[in-house]
Amino acid sequence: MNAAHDRAAVLPDRTSGTPVWQQVQGDVRRRLDDGAFTDGVPGEHALAEEYGVSRQTVRQALRPLREAGVLTAQRGRASQATGLTQPLGALYSLFASVRATGMTQRSRVLTLDVVTDAAASAALRLPADAELVHLRRLRLADDVPLALDEAWLPAVRTRALLEADFTETALYDELARRCGIHVRGGAEHLRAVVLTPAEAGLLDVAVGSAAFLVERLGCNDGTPVEHRRSLIRADRFSVSAQFAPSAGYRFAFDAQVTA
């Protein structure tokens, strides 16, 4: 499949159980990840015509992307796909950010199974013996290891993820497409850690190297649906902040192009 085809719209399936606006939202996000809309995202009228839906449906589809910082929303101007700068509190997608740099993003799936994990269940406010979908991936940028990413999700709602191919797709896209779940908030904690020998081996760095540990609790309408633990190579990733009296802190996450 060529790049031009990848960036074309996939029309919503009206026989699907997934709402049309969610299908449009997932497809717009997919096209953004594939490098579409470099000159600006088409207006609501144009997108409505392209997808064969109402303008209200398009507006509903784009609103979460604007709220999450994926798209800008300025009156009188075409929406633009954002780069690597994310406002504090906006959902951060490593998948989208790597693609935004022009690098090739793919993953090596290490685990995709149903497990029980008392600690992850506690984070998700579930019983200790609850079944969880466990996804563990080595994230690559231009085939160089960038991050070791691990996520646990309630199996009762997300078992359909077991059919997904996560080598070249984002977890949130598959959650929306297969499960009708959209992560729209939560809590995230970032700190510096020293990699274990096993982690260093997977990330292709020296034993004792530093990394960022990002721990996330993703929520859908206030209900936890994702417990995630990401180890990101410190030599390929940086975090910076800007501040102003009116806006507070804004963090920038930068994936380095060089190995």
For the domain that residue 154 is a member of, what is the CATH number?
A: 3.40.1410.10
Closest-CA residue to 8 (of 51, 60, 68, 70): 51
Structural domain for 136, as ranges: 83-259
Q: Is a pLDDT exceeding 60 seen at residue 128?
A: yes
Q: Is a pLDDT exceeding 60 seen at residue 231?
A: yes
67-100 in b/e form (b: 16+ CB < 10 A) is ebbbbeeeeeeebebbeeebeebbbbbbbbbbbb
DSSP 256: -
Q: Are residues 165 and 53 in the same domain?
A: no
Q: Are residues 62 and 110 in the same domain?
A: no
Q: What is the mean pLDDT of residues 13-24?
A: 87
Q: Are residues 210 and 96 in the same domain?
A: yes
Residues 88 and 91: their CA atoms lie apart, in Å, by: 9
17 confidence band (pLDDT: 50, 70, 90)? confident
Say if pTM beats, i.e. exceeds, 0.85: no
Q: Are residues 60 and 132 in the same domain?
A: no
Q: Is a pLDDT exceeding 90 seen at residue 148?
A: yes
Q: What is the mean pLDDT of residues 145-153?
A: 94
Last residue of a domain, one of 82, 110, 145: 82
Q: Specify the pLDDT at position 30.
A: 79
Q: Are residues 98 and 214 in the same domain?
A: yes
Q: Are residues 19 and 91 in the same domain?
A: no
Q: Are residues 136 and 33 in the same domain?
A: no
Q: Are residues 94 and 52 in the same domain?
A: no
Lowest mean pLDDT of 3-17, 41-55, 129-143, 148-162, name the range: 3-17
Q: Specify the pLDDT at position 244.
A: 57
100 confidence band (pLDDT: 50, 70, 90)? low
DSSP 41: B
Number of domains in the chain: 2
- pLDDT tens digits, 72-98: 554 444 454 443 333 334 445 666 666
> Which CATH number belongs to the domain containing residue 53 in this structure?
1.10.10.10
Q: Are residues 167 and 204 in the same domain?
A: yes
Query: Does residue 173 or residue 130 have the better pLDDT?
Result: 130
User: Mean pLDDT highest for which of 100-109, 118-127, 169-178?
Assistant: 118-127
Residues 17 and 160: their CA atoms lie apart, in Å, by: 13
Q: What is the mean pLDDT of residues 144-170?
A: 94
Q: Is a pLDDT exceeding 70 seen at residue 245?
A: no
Closest-CA residue to 215 (of 205, 229, 203, 226): 229
Last residue of a domain, one of 48, 64, 82: 82
Q: Specify the pLDDT at position 143.
A: 85
* DSSP states along 211-244: EEEEEEEEEETTEEEEEEEEEEETTSEEEEEEEE
Q: Are residues 135 and 192 in the same domain?
A: yes
Residues 100 and 103: their CA atoms lie apart, in Å, by: 7
Residues 191 and 195: their CA atoms lie apart, in Å, by: 12
Q: Are residues 149 and 94 in the same domain?
A: yes
258 confidence band (pLDDT: 50, 70, 90)? very low
Q: What is the mean pLDDT of residues 175-186?
A: 89
Last residue of a domain, one of 64, 82, 100: 82
Q: Are residues 117 and 219 in the same domain?
A: yes
Q: Specify the pLDDT at position 74.
A: 47
